[in-house]
Structure 1
Amino acid sequence: AADRVPSQRGAAAPPRRPADGGATLRMLQHVEMTLTAEIGRTRMPVRQVLELVPGTVLELDREAGAPADVMVNGRLVARGEVVVVDEHYGIRITEIVSSEPGA
């Protein structure tokens, strides 16, 4: 089935589909969500933000080459490596993050 999500390492069982044959899931397939890729974060006082100028380098909390986080509506769902596709940045997914506690 082309619409199945790849299985995750350590996952106990695939998610259950509704008894109605997945009609509920199909109905949600076209709902748009905000997806963001985060390569790192930093904290700074407002004074420093106001002093930013072109050419300023911000040091992030990750090492160069570390995986980027892929977030859907602010929730971590995957990690991946930054790639360039036709002069645009992209993310190659390398890990799907389990949403189950302890997994």
Structure 2
Amino acid sequence: ADDWIAEQATHRSVVITADILLADRCLKAGAIVIGNNGKPFTSSSIGGAIATRAIMADLRAGMDGITGGPAPFAKADRSRFLQALDEALVRLG
């Protein structure tokens, strides 16, 4: 599915994903990319996100599978997401 999404992404697309590598591919295609928590991925932030992802993968590998998972989705996340989505759609409009 990720390949299809990345192949379809254009400068007229809004992609919503928690997958950092998919976000990177879609940004390179010119899409607006928003995380499922409402935080936008940008060309200036994606490098740090990829680096953090790699560090976290290394840490998880050293913990023998013990992980806490992501924080629960909060009202603030919902509000941030709705605002980011609205801003992205206005930019495309």
> Which TM-score band (shorter chain)?
under 0.3
TM-score (norm 1): 0.24
Compare the two structures and name the one with the higher helix fraction. 2
Larger radius of gyration: 1
TM-score (norm 2): 0.26
Larger RCO (CA within 8 A; separation ≥ 6): 2
